[in-house]
Chain A
Amino acid sequence: MQPLQSRLDPSSADFSTNAEAMEAYVGRVRAVLDKQAATEEAYRPRAEAKGKLLPGERLARLLDPGAPFVELCALAGFGMYDDGDGRYSGGKLIAGIGRISGRRALVIVWNYAIKGGTIDRVNVAKMLRLQDIALRQRLPIVSLHESGGGNLVSASAMADPWMARIFTDAGVSYGQQAALSAAGIPQITVSHGNATAGGAYQVALSDTVILVRGQTQLFLAGPPLLEAGTGEKATAEELGGAEMHATVSGTGEYFAEDDADAIRMARQVVSQLPPDPAVPPRRPIEPPRYSPDELLGAFPADRKVPVDIREIVARVVDGSRFDEFEPMVDAGTVCGTAYLGGHLVGIIGNNGPITPSGANKACTFIATCEQWDAPILFLQNTTGFLVGTDVERRGQVKHSAKLIQAVANTRLPKLTILVGNAYGAGNYAMGATALKPAFCFAWPSARQAAMGGAQARKVMEIVTRGKWARKGIEPDDKAEGKLAQTGQMIEMGLEMISESMACSARLMDDGIIDPRDTRRVLLELLATVLEARERTPVTSSWGIQRY
C-alpha cells in the first residue's frame, strides 16, 4: 500500500486563510462548551454547601486518568427552546465514551447544575441516542444520576404543539433500559440526589444502584406531590433517603458516604465486569506521514473551491497509505482501503457529485469490503447526487436508491465524518445519521440540509413564476418585492439551520470535532465498533430485577 503524495502546502497563504477560518469555527464550538462549564461553575457555591461535586468533577473522578474521552452530542439543544447562547445546552447530560477501570463504557453524567438536570425534549432525544449507542455497541452504561424530573415549564404545550409527545418518548427510554438489561449490557447508576418519578425509574431500572448518604432522594412522589395528593407529610430522607433504601426498601446495592466514595464504588463495580475483548490489529500501527494538525487548513474557507478528499485521507490513516479502488472509473466518488490503528477500513469519499457510475462503484466497493470484513469510513463532502437528463436516462434514481440500500443494509460497522457539504440524498447515501452509522461526527465546516439555501430560493422563484404564468398574472413591484423577500427568508433560514452547530443541536450528528482530532476520534470509534462485535453479553428475558 503506497503513501499518498499531498499537494497541500501548509506554508501557503491559502492554507493560513483556511486554517484561520476553521480555527474560528472551532472556537465557536468551544465557546459553547465553555458557557456550559460556566453555568456549572456558577453552581459551585451551592454544590459545595451541600458537600456535592459538580457534574464535571464527578465525570473527572469517574474516568480512568490518562484514558481518552469522546464526548457525544455535546451541543444538543444549542439555541433551542430555553437556550440562547449555549449556556443551557447539552440536554442536561454530559455524555461520551470513555474508560472506567480499564473498560470502555458509555458515561452519562446528569448536569444537575443546568436547570436542575430536568427532563425535556432535548434531554429525552439525547438519552434515546445514547441508549441506542450502548445497545448497538454493547457498551456498559455508567450513569451519575441527579435530576429534578420533568421540566414543568418547558413541558407546556403552548410553544410547541409536539411537546406533549415527550411523555411517550421518555417512556421509551425506560423500555430501552429494560432492553439493555435483558441484552446483558450492564447499567450502573449512582443516585447522587433527586430521582423523583421518571427520575426514580432511571435509577431503579439500572442493574446496579449506588446510594449516597444524605443525598439520594429516590421516590415516586416527593414531599410536595405527596402532600398535594394524600395530605401525608414526610421528609425527603424518610420518603426515599439512601439509608431507607439501603436498609428497608432494598432499592440499591451499594451505600456510599459521599459523591467521591460513590464514584469510587462505581469504578469498583465496573472493574468486576468482564474485560474488553482484544481486537488485534492486522498491521503494526503507523502514524500518518502528514500531520493530522494540517487538517485545520485542509478545508477551504471559500466553499466553492474544490477539495481533494485524499488530502484528508492522508492526514487520518496509518502511514498516509491508501489503496484506491477502481481509481479510473469515476473521479467524483473516491473509494479505497487503508489501515487505521492497524485495522483495515474501506473509505468512501467525495470529490464531486455522485454519478450513476460513482454510485455503482461505491456499491461494488461496499460488497467487496464485506468480503474483506473492512468497516466503512465515509468522508462526506457531497452536494448530492448529480441531476440532469443525461444521468436520469442513465438510471440515476435506481443507482442512487441502490447505494442507499447498500449503505443502509450493510452489516459492516459504518463511521462517518461530515467534512463539508452534506446535502440531499447524498447525505443519506454517504452514511450520515439517517442511515444509522455506528457514529457520525461533523467538522465545524459541515452543512446538512435537503438542499442549499440559494438553490431552494431559486426553486421557489421558478415555481412561483410558473404559477403566475399559468394564471396569466403580470407581477407588479409589490409582488416582485414579496417574492424577493420570501426568497431571502428561505435562503437565510435554510443556511441557518444547515449550519453545523444548528445540525448538531438537533442531533443530526453525534457531535462536532476539531478537524485536528479526526484521527484520534476515529481510532477510538473504530476500536469501539470492532470490540462491539467481539462482546458476548449474557442475555436473559427480563434483565436484572430487584425483589
Chain B
Amino acid sequence: MIRTLLIANRGEIAARIAEAARDLGIRSVAVYSDADADARHVRVADRAVRIGPAAAAASYLSIEALLDAARRTGADAVHPGYGFLSENADFARAVTDAGMTFVGPPADAIALMGDKRTAKEAATAAGVHGVPGYQGDDDSDERLIAEASAIGFPLMVKATAGGGGRGMRVVHDAAALPDALRSARAEATSSFGSGSLLLERAVLHARHVEIQVFADTHGTVLSLGERDCSLQRRNQKVVEEAPSPAVTPELRAAMGEAACAVARACGYVGAGTVEFLLEPDGRFWFLEMNTRLQVEHPVTEEVTMLDLVQLQLRVAAGEALAIDPEALAPQGHSIEVRIYAEDPDRGFLPQTGRIARFDLSHAVRFDHCVGAGATVSPHYDPMLGKLIAHGQDRPEALRRLVGALEDLVLDGVVTNQAWLRRLLQHPDVASGEVTTRSLESWPAEVLAPSAEEMAETRALAALARFATISGTPLDRLGWRSGRNVPAILALETPGTGQSPVTTTLAITRSAGRFLVDETPVTLHALHLTPHTPPLDPTWDRYGPAEGAVAGSLDVTLSGVRFTVPFTVDGDTVWVRGVPFTDVSTRPAASADGGSGTIAAPLDGVVTSVFVTEGAAVEAGQLLLVMEAMKMEHRMVADIDGTVAELPVRAGDQVTTRQLLARLAPPPPETLAAEGSA
C-alpha cells in the first residue's frame, strides 16, 4: 500500500484527496504556491511543500518542482487531481520513472485519449462511434451529397478551416443540401480562404451524459453508472447529476458497456470518464474520454456509496476492485452545483477578494477550498467548491440543494450562488428537460434577480448597516424624542453595468417599526458574532473572518417573519451574497474645474515659459516654471482652452498672486458641436 501520497494539485480536490488518504491511513503531502500559503488544502494535508510562485507554470505545472517536493517528503505515490498535470502523459511517466506510483491510468492511455483524433479512432475500433460525419480529401458537392444520405438528416455543413459559425449551415433535408453547400463554400472561401467543407450529423437536442468507469490492474473494468451534465454555460458544466433523468436501466447498461469497451481498448487503469452526447431517441455518440477523476465525481459517489478517491488509491496500490456490479444500481438521486467566484450579473466576470464569512447550516456535502479569511486570488480557476445534495429521488435532491444554496453564506466575494438557486428553480430544470443548449437559449433575464428581490435585499442591507453602525441597542435604535429625523444611508452595489450603482435610503423609526424608504420592517432581534480565532489552525474556519462581524436580523417583512444573515466587513454589508458598501461619507467630487487664472503662489522668478499667447492648451499641460524659495514650481493649465494673456517672460520677478497667465475656455460652439456628435 501507499504510505505517503503527494497531491500535485490545489483547491477543493487537493483537500478532498488528503481527507480520503487520511481515512486509508496514508500520510498526505500538499504542495502550494505563494498565493496558496494559507489555503485550506495546505492545512488539511499532513505536510506541505512550497513549490514556487503564484504563476501556475512555475508551481502547479512544474513537474520538476513537484517531483522535488515528492522526494523531499519521501512520497511513494502522486495523485494529480484534475486539471493542471492530471492528463499530462509526460508527468505520469516522470512520476513512474522516479520510482513512484502515479494514481491514474498508464501514460500511454493518457496520451491515446488526450488526442481527439486517436481517441476517436480507438473508440471506433472498439465499436463505439462518435457523431457520424464525413471529412475527406474529396469534398466535391457530388461526394458530399452522396455521404450525406449515409449520415442522415438533419446535418451540419461546416468549413474545415472554420470557426465561429462562419461557413456553417444546418440542413434539414436532402433537397436543401446543394444550396447549402454552395453558400457555405462561398462563405468559407471568403472567410478562411479555403472552400473545403465537412459534414457532421446535427445533434440538436442532445444531453451530455458521461459514464464513470473504473478499471483495476487485474483486468476488471466496471461502469459505475452515468452522470448527466447537460446544463452547461460556454462548455463549462454548471449542474451535474446522477442518475440522468433521461437514462433508463437498459440505456444505462448499453452506455456502460460502450464506455467499458473504450476503457478496455486503451488498457485503462483507475478512474476515468467516457463522455457521450445522448439524443432524445436514445442514440448516443462518443465525445471523449477523461483520463482522470472528474470535478463532478461526488454525485456518482452519492448514489453508489463509494469513495472514488479511496478506490483510486486502492487500485493504484494494486488491489483488485471488490465491487459487486449487481449492487451498482443508483441509490436515490444526487445533484451537484459548482460555486464560482464570478458575477453572473456582470457577464460572469471572475471575482477576487477575501472570504469575510463562511457558514453552512444545511446538512449537505460541500467539497470546497474556502474558509473565513481565505483569499480568492486571480491566479487560478475561480471555483470555490461544490455543493452536493442527495435525496431519495430527484425532487428531494433538488429541494435540498436549493435549500443549501439559500443557507450557504460565502460573503466577501461575489459568487454565482443566487444565480444557481434561480437556475435550479427554473421549470425546465425542475422537470429535468434540458439539453446542452438550454442555458444559452434562455434570455439572461430569466435567471436575473427580480427588481422586487433586489429591493428587498437592499432594504435588508440598509437595515443591517443601520442596526450595527452605531452600536445602539434595539430599544433605542434610531429613536428620536421629538421630530422624525430619518437616517440617511448611501449604499453602493456592483450593479449590472460598468460602474457601480449607488442608492440613497432613508430609515425612520415609527412606533417600534422601521420604514426603510417606504417599506415597513419590524426588527425583532439582532444578533452579532465577532471573529474568534480557531483553537486548532487546521480546523475549518466557519463564521466571520478577522475584522468582520457575522450578524443576523430577525425581521417581519410583508407579514412574514424570517431571519436573514448578514456580514459586516469594514464599510461593506453583505446580504444574500450581494455587497452593499456604505458610501455615505464619500467626499464630493470637486466642482473646481479651474478658473483659467494662473497666479504666482508666492514671490519668485519665472525661469521658463513653454507656451505663447494664443496657443491651445489642455488641462494639466505645463505652461511655465518659476523658482521661489529655492524650489521649482511647475504652473500647469487648470482648464482646456487657449492662452489669452501671458504677461510674463522668463527671468521676470513676480510677486504672490501676480497674474502669470490667463486661459480662455474653448468657445461654446465647440462644446455644442461635441455635445451633438
Please state if A60 and B485 are interface contacts (CB–CB under 8 Å): yes
Q: Identify B479's interface contact among A57, A65, A102, A520, CB under 8 A.
A: A520
B655 to chain A, nearest CB (A): 15
In this assembly, does A260 line the interface, its C-beta being within 8 Å of a C-beta of chain B?
yes
Determine if B470 and A69 form an interchain contact, defined as CB atoms under 8 angstroms apart: no
Whether a CB of chain A sits under 8 angstroms from the CB of B186 is no
B506 contacts the other chain (Cβ, under 8 Å)?
A: yes
| Segment at the B interface, from A3-11, A261-269, A414-422, A487-495 | A261-269
- The answer to whether B478 touches A65, judged by C-beta atoms less than 8 angstroms apart, is yes
Q: Which of the segments B240-248, B255-263, B582-590 contacts the partner chain? A: B582-590
Chain A 249-292 interface 0/1 with B at a Cβ cutoff of 8 Å (1 = within) = 00000001110110010011000000000000000000100000
Partner of A68, one of B468, B480, B587, B591: B480
CB distance from A84 to the nearest CB of B (A): 19
A461 to chain B, nearest CB (A): 41
With a cutoff of 8 Å between Cβ atoms, the chain B residues found around residue A513 in the complex are 481
From A36, A65, A256, A287, contact of B488 by CB (8 A): A65
- State A326–B587 Cα separation when bound (angstroms): 60
Interface of chain B, main secondary structure: loop
Whether, in the assembled complex, B469 has its beta carbon less than 8 Å from a beta carbon of chain A, the answer is yes
Distance between Cα atoms of A67 and B488 in the complex (Å): 12
Beta-carbon contact of A66 and B591 below 8 Å: no
Interface residues of A in 50-69 (CB under 8 A from B): 56-57, 59-61, 63-69
- A544 interfacial by beta-carbon distance below 8 Å: no
Q: Which residue of B lies closest to A267 (CB)?
A: B585
Scan A384-407; emit 1 where CB is below 8 A from any B CB, else 0.
Answer: 000000000000000000000000
Mark each residue of chain A from 27 to 57: 1 if its CB lies under 8 Å from any CB of chain B, else 0.
0000001001100000000000000000011
Contacts of A524 in B (CB 8 A): 476
Closest Cβ–Cβ distance, residue A25 to chain B (whole Å) = 15
Chain A 212-235 near chain B by CB (<8 Å), digits 1 or 0: 010000000000000000000000
Is the pair A65, B588 in contact by a Cβ cutoff of 8 Å?
no
Least distance between B478 CB and chain A CB atoms (Å)? 5
- Does A517 lie at the interface of the complex (its beta carbon under 8 Å from any beta carbon of B)? yes
Q: How far is the CA of A261 from the CA of B488 in the complex (A)?
A: 14
Tell me the residues in window 472-492 of chain B with beta carbons closer than 8 Å to chain A beta carbons: 472, 475-489
In the bound complex, how far is the Cα of B479 from the Cα of A520, in angstroms?
A: 9
Contact of A69 (CB < 8 Å), options: B465, B480, B588 = B480
B466 at the interface (CB under 8 A from A): yes
For residue B467, CB closer than 8 A to chain A, the reply is: yes
On chain A, the residues within 8 Å of B488 by CB distance are 57, 60-61, 65
Q: Which of B467, B480, B483, B488 has the most CB of A within 10 A?
A: B483
Cα-based distance from A37 to B472 in the complex (angstroms): 26
- Find out whether the CB atom of A65 lies under 8 angstroms from the CB atom of B465: yes
Contact residues in B for A188 (Cβ distance below 8 Å): none
A467 to chain B, nearest CB (A): 48
Q: Are B466 and A66 touching (Cβ within 8 A)?
A: yes
User: Measured between C-beta atoms, what is the minimum distance from A174 to chain B in Å?
Assistant: 27
Inter-chain contact B483/A67, CB cutoff 8 Å = no
A61 to B467, CA, bound (A): 16
Residues of A within 8 A of B478 (CB): 65-68
Asked if A315 is an interface residue, CB under 8 A from chain B, the answer is no
Q: How far is the CA of A215 from the CA of B469 in the complex (A)?
A: 31
Interface centre among A56, A66, A68, A264 (most CB of B within 10 A): A66
Chain B residue at minimum C-beta to C-beta distance from A96: B482
| Complex contact A520–B475 (CB within 8 A) | yes
Whether B287 is near chain A, meaning CB under 8 Å from some CB there, is no
With A213-B591, A257-B589, A264-B585 in contact, do A65 and B481 touch (Cβ < 8 Å)? no
Q: Is the CB of B591 within 8 A of A257?
A: yes
CB within 8 A of A99: which of B470, B481, B586?
Answer: B470
Complex CA–CA separation, A56 to B506 (angstroms): 12
User: In this assembly, does B507 line the interface, its C-beta being within 8 Å of a C-beta of chain A?
Assistant: yes
Q: Please give, as numbers and ranges, the residues of chain A lying within 8 Å of B484 by CB-CB distance.
A: 33, 37
In-complex Cβ contact of B482 among A71, A256, A257, A520 (8 A):
A71
Contact A65 B585 (CB under 8 A): no
The answer to whether A60 touches B506, judged by C-beta atoms less than 8 angstroms apart, is yes
Given contacts A257-B591, A264-B587, contact A65 B483 (CB under 8 A): no
Q: Are B588 and A260 in contact (CB under 8 A)?
A: yes
Beta-carbon contact of B485 and A258 below 8 Å: no
Give the total of B residues in contact with A, Cβ under 8 Å.
32
Chain A residue contacts of B479, Cβ below 8 A: 68-69, 517, 520
Say if the beta carbon of A521 comes within 8 Å of chain B. yes
Residues on the A chain within 8 Å of B470, using CB: 64-67, 99, 102
Q: Residues of B contacting A267 with CB < 8 Å?
A: 585
Q: Is A483 an interface residue (CB 8 A)?
A: no
Q: Chain B 447-476 against A: per-residue CB contact (8 Å), 1 yes, 0 no? A: 000000000000000000111111010011
Judged by a CB distance under 8 angstroms, whether A312 is at the interface is: no
- B608-640 to A contact mask, C-beta < 8 Å, 1/0: 000000000000000000000000000000000
- Chain B residues, CB < 8 A from A57: 488
Residue of B nearest to A33 (CB): B483
CA distance A523 to B472 in the complex (A): 12
| Residue A114 is within 8 A (CB to CB) of chain B in the complex | no
Known A257-B590, A520-B476, A524-B476; judge A65-B482 contact (CB<8 A).
no
B residues within 8 A CB of A36?
483
In angstroms, how far is the closest chain A Cβ from the Cβ of B601?
11
Interface string of A61-91 (1 = CB under 8 A from B): 1011111111100100000000000000000
- Contact of B588 with A261 in the complex, beta carbons under 8 Å: yes
Cβ of A405 to closest chain B Cβ, rounded Å? 32
- Closest-CB distance, B156 to chain A (whole angstroms): 60
Closest to A441 in B: B481
Q: Which of A63, A66, A213, A517 is within 8 Å of B481, CB to CB?
A: A517
Are B587 and A65 within 8 A (Cβ)? no
> Residues 148-180 of chain A: 1 if any B CB is under 8 Å from the residue's CB, otherwise 0?
000000000000000000000000000000000
**Nearest B-chain residue to A75, judged by Cβ:** B482
> Which residue from B467, B481, B485 sits with its C-beta under 8 Å from A511?
B481
- CB-defined contacts of B486 to chain A, threshold 8 Å: 60
Q: Are A71 and B480 in contact (CB under 8 A)?
A: yes
Q: Which residues of B contact A102 (CB under 8 A)?
A: 470
A324 to B584, CA, bound (A): 49
CB within 8 A of A65: which of B466, B475, B480, B586? B466
Instruction: Report the separation of the CA atoms of residues A524 and B506 in the bound assembly, to the nearest whole angstrom.
Output: 23
- Which chain A residues lie closer than 8 Å to B584 at the CB level? 61, 65, 264
B475: nearest residue on chain A (CB-CB)? A520
A69 B485 Cβ-Cβ under 8 A: yes
Q: Once bound together, how far apart are the Cα atoms of A258 and B475, in whole Å? A: 34
Contact A65 B489, beta carbon cutoff 8 Å: yes
Instruction: For residue B224, give the distance in angstroms from its CB to the closest CB of chain A.
Output: 56
Query: With the chains together, A38 CA to B485 CA distance in Å?
Result: 14
B469-A65 in contact (CB<8A): yes
Give A525's nearest chain B residue, CB to CB: B481
- Are B588's CB and A56's CB within 8 A? no
A94 at the interface (CB under 8 A from B): yes
Report which of A66, A520, A523 forms a contact with B487, defined as CB distance below 8 A. A66
Q: Chain A residues near B477 (CB, 8 Å)?
A: 66, 68
Considering only residues 500-518 of chain A, those with a C-beta below 8 Å from chain B are: 511, 513-514, 517
How far apart are B616's CB and chain A's nearest CB, in angstroms? Answer: 27
> Given A256-B588, A268-B585, A523-B476, is A66 in contact with B469 using a C-beta cutoff of 8 Å?
yes
Known: A213-B591, A258-B588, A520-B476. A56 touches B483 (CB 8 A): yes
A213–B589 alpha-carbon span in the complex (Å):
12
Docked-complex contact A59 and B485, CB < 8 angstroms: yes
Q: What B residues does A37 contact at CB under 8 A?
A: 483-484
For B485, give its contact among A56, A520, A523 (CB under 8 Å). Answer: A56
Residue pairs across A and B with Cβ atoms less than 8 A apart, 5 shown, are A33-B482, A64-B469, A65-B487, A70-B482, A96-B481
Query: A-B pairs with the 8 shortest C-beta distances?
Result: A71-B482, A65-B487, A261-B588, A67-B470, A66-B470, A257-B588, A74-B482, A68-B476
Beyond A63-B485, A65-B470, A69-B480, 12 extra complex contacts between A and B, CB < 8 Å: A36-B483, A61-B488, A65-B466, A66-B467, A66-B469, A68-B479, A257-B591, A260-B588, A261-B587, A264-B584, A268-B585, A287-B475
